[in-house]
Amino acid sequence: MKYILLIVFIVLSLNFKSAYSNNNIDNEIEEFNFNDFSNDLEYNKLIQENIIENGLPSLTDYSQFLLGFIEGIGINITNEESLCFKNENGSVADLKDGVLALQKGLSTIDIPKMSSGIVKIGGVILQIPTNLKECGISDKIVQITYIAASFISGPSGIVTFILRDAFNIFVNSGGVLHNLTEIFVGLQNADFFKLGKNLGQIVDILMIKHT
C-alpha cells in the first residue's frame, strides 16, 4: 500500500514541478488589493452589491475561502445565503499550513509532507458542511464530507481514494495541476477566494464518482 502511494505522489510531484516551472508562477503573483478581493467578476459583483453598498463588515479570510469553495464546487447560492457567510467563524491557519506543506512536499517529493498537508486540508474541508447547513444549504454535503474524511484518514485512506478514482483523476490531471498552481498563487497573494475556488474545483472533480 505505501509503495502505491509513493508512486502516485512521485508522478504527481514530477508533473507538478514541470507545470509549476512552465507557468512562471512568480510572474503571476501581484500585490493583493483588499478592495478588489478577487479578479473574479462575479465575486467582485457580489462583494460590491452586498457588502460595500450595504455597509456590512468586510468578509474575513475564512468567509472569502468559503465563498470561493462554494463557487468552485458548483453550488448555486442566493445573495441572502452569500451574506450568511460573513458571520461564519473559522480560521485559515490550518488551511495555510496544509497548503504550504503540500506545496513543499510536491516540490521536494517529500511523501510525509504531502500527506500531512492533505490531512490538514481535509480537516478544513470537513468543517464546510457545517457552515453550509448553518446558512441553509444542503447541496453536496454528503459528497464533501466523504472526500474530506478520505483526506483526513491518512496515507492509507488517501491511496484507497486515489485508486478508486484513478481514471477520473488521470483524465482531469491537467485541470488538477492548474488548480494546484492557482491554490499556491492564491495563498501567496492572500487571495483566499481564489484558493477556495480552485480547491472547490478539485473537490468537484473528485466528486464525479460520488454524486
Convert the pLDDT of each residue in 34-87 to its tens digit. 344 344 545 544 554 554 444 444 688 999 999 999 999 999 988 888 888 877
Convert the pLDDT of each residue in 113-159 to its tens digit. 888 999 999 999 999 999 999 999 999 999 999 999 988 887 666 66
**Half-sphere exposure at residue 185, Cβ-oriented, CA atoms within 13 angstroms:** 22
Burial 5-31 (b: 16+ CB within 10 A, else e): beebbeebbebbeebbeeeeeeeeeee
Give the integer Cα–Cα distance in Å for 139 and 63: 18
Cα–Cα separations (whole angstroms), residue 42 to 150, 171, 179? 31, 28, 19
pLDDT for the residue 88: 78
Domain ranges of the chain: 56-206
End-to-end Cα distance, the chain: 27
Q: Is residue 107 helix, strand or coil?
A: helix
Q: Is the pTM of this model over 0.85?
A: no
- The identity of residue 145, as a single letter, is T
- Residue labelled with grid coordinates 512552465: 22
